[in-house]
Amino acid sequence: MQVPILKQGQYLIASIQAALSDQDLVQLRDALAEKVGRLRARGVIVDVTVLDVMDSFASRTLRDLAHMTRLRGAETVIVGIQPEVAFSMVQLGLTLEGVDTALDLEEGLDYLDKKTKRSTSRG
């Protein structure tokens, strides 16, 4: 199942709609990394609200995604991790190190606004 990627201003929003296979995840990662450059996005939001399981492959792919987009000039925020999912991830040692997270889409947009503004004013 493919994940729709929406463009909203300078940001790309990938809203996961159902449980994803490993292949879908890789596809999502590659599609986002490619679109970040083509659409000149400054930020990426991946909404995982519907996921009730996050295995090691999924969290590694999301981490790779975040690092890849950062190298291509966009910040990634993972939003909507459920409390239960968060805790089981931590117990498995999957802490998404170096990846920004936010409560939900709204918070994620807010976060990106602040972060990109900061880096613009600085740069």
Kindly give, in sequence order, each residue whose CB lies less than 8 Å from that of residue 34, ignoring residues fewer than 6 positions away: none
3-class SS at 27?
helix
The only residue of 70, 107, 115, 116 in contact with another protein, by rule CB under 8 A: 107
Of residues 48 through 87, those in contact with another protein by CB under 8 A are 78-79, 81, 83-87
Provide the 8-state DSSP code for 92. T
CA atoms within 13 A on the CB side of 18: 4
Q: State the minimum distance, in angstroms, from the CB of residue 16 to another protein.
A: 15
105 lies in the binding site for another protein (CB under 8 A): no
91 lies in the binding site for another protein (CB under 8 A): yes
Torsion of CA 46, 90, 114, 15, to 10 degrees: 10
11 lies in the binding site for another protein (CB under 8 A): no
Which residue ranges make up the site for another protein (CB under 8 A)? Answer: 78-79, 81, 83-87, 89-91, 95-96, 101-104, 107-108, 111
